[in-house]
Amino acid sequence: MAMSEIPVADEDAGPYGITTGPDGALWLTFVHSGRIARLTLDGELNTFPLESAECGPTVIAPGPDGALWFTRFRDHRIGRITTAGETESFPLPTPDSGPFGITAGPDGAMWFTEMNTDRIGRITGTGEITEYALPRTGSYPSAITAGPDSALWFTLNQANAIGRITVHGDIAVHPLPTPGAAPVGIASDGVALWFVEIAAGQIGRISVDGAIEEFPLPDRTAKPHAIVAAAPGDCWFTEWGANSIGHITRSGQITEYGLPSPSSEPHGITVGPDAAVWAALETGAVARLAR
């Protein structure tokens, strides 16, 4: 498989989140410079400044309205950008909530996590926000994804668990077998949910009925961060500590691909419009791994 890197910013910008937009381009967050970037497959790059350079845009995801939605961790807002680059943002009702993960739900709204205040949020296309309190405090809800069961699934980084919330706000919590695993990224492959355990160096799989499997990485200090599914039993993830992109199959077979630049800090990951795997490198580039 061929790996390449494309510079998109200086090292102070901090490319962090990445997703494929409805326009066939890649969209990124620059967490340190307060910008959203659009990168085409032929290398054309446009960046769009947000109203605050310090807002901390983190995770970005396509919405049901044809726009991209993203969390602003530092100023506690949800942002929206059209494919033409028009931006707006919505303040969260709970102060200092620290939104991080975001995903399109099965109900036509966006769902997101509030890391600092133990809540899951829902925002409509017009900016109407509902918040649901989690049953545990200090749980640090992180990434979130829509599951194959018409519910939302999310990681509870400090509660060492995977959470599930229905579109009506009913919440269930599934503790992880490994203590102190600190799950972060989560993705649905259309059948089950896959997640990464950044502190334990493992990849996890949870079925919709709550059964959990864990697969240790060759390097338990690899610090897996984000994960994306290309197909059932075909998942790709970033290894922040090992400077690699990893792949796992349904049976738990793991393959790792080292990044060309040392200490490049891979974070967000997505399957691109070209079917390649793309990762955001916080040191100022994106990596492309042709499958």
Annotated binding site for substrate: 225
Q: For residue 27, how many other CB atoms are within 10 A of its CB?
A: 24
Q: Which of 280, 284, 278 is nearest to 266 (CA)?
A: 280
Alpha-carbon separation of residue 275 from 111, 267, 270 (angstroms): 26, 19, 9
Q: Binding site, residues?
A: 225, 265, 282
Q: Classify residue 213 as exposed, middle or buried by CB count within 10 Å of its CB (0-12, 13-18, 19+).
A: middle
Query: Could you give the residue numbers annotated as active site?
Result: 267
Q: Binding site for Mg(2+), residues?
A: 265, 282
